[in-house]
A = this chain, B = another copy of it.
Amino acid sequence: MTGCDWCHLSEEDREYLLCDSGCWSVFLADEQDYIGRCVLVLDRHCGSMAELTDDEWQDLLNLVRKLEMCLKTVFGADLCNWSCLMNSFFKDPEPCPHLHIHVRPRYRNPVVINGNTYADDAFGHHYTHDKGGRIPEEDMQAVFIRMKRWLDS
């Protein structure tokens, strides 16, 4: 759809593309407030889960299984928080939402990346959605490489 930024992601946006299932592109999220946090973006313009085709839905389940296993194996996640929200699009009086899904892995024990310790202080509770989560570029790269290696294998 013309005018939808999510339909025309730039090369920069796509820097942290982990995998493409055919229907969905999985990106490592800019915010790593929960290490391994990703966004699954539908490859076509579609505004809500209700409008997904059966094939896109089945493909999503395959990705859910793959990503949960990846995050548990690579970083020791205890569970994953999944959400499909789309709120920001509705700030616009004429919203043009593009379907995407968030996954935040949650950790009982801290994760260590390049010697830096990342603790999930709210484990057992709702995720904090506004704590910010930029991490050093070298840690971002390390998270990306470890996940991508697992997903590609």
Tell me, in angstroms, the Cα distance from A63 to B52 when the chains sit together.
13
Interface SS majority for chain A: mixed
**Contact between A123 and B90 (Cβ–Cβ < 8 Å)?**
yes
Closest to A104 in B: B85
A85 contacts which chain B residues (CB < 8 A)? 81-83, 126-127
A84 contacts which chain B residues (CB < 8 A)? 81-83
Counting every copy of the chain, the complex holds: 2
When A61-B57, A106-B87, A106-B90 are in contact, do A80 and B126 touch as well, CB less than 8 Å? Answer: no
**Contact between A97 and B83 (Cβ–Cβ < 8 Å)?**
no
**Contact between A126 and B57 (Cβ–Cβ < 8 Å)?**
no
Tell me, in angstroms, the Cα distance from A80 to B68 when the chains sit together.
24
- Answer yes or no: A78 CB below 8 A from chain B CBs: yes
Chain A: residues with CB nearer than 8 A to chain B? 48-50, 52, 54, 57-58, 61, 64-65, 68-69, 78-88, 90-91, 95, 97, 106, 108, 123-127, 129-130
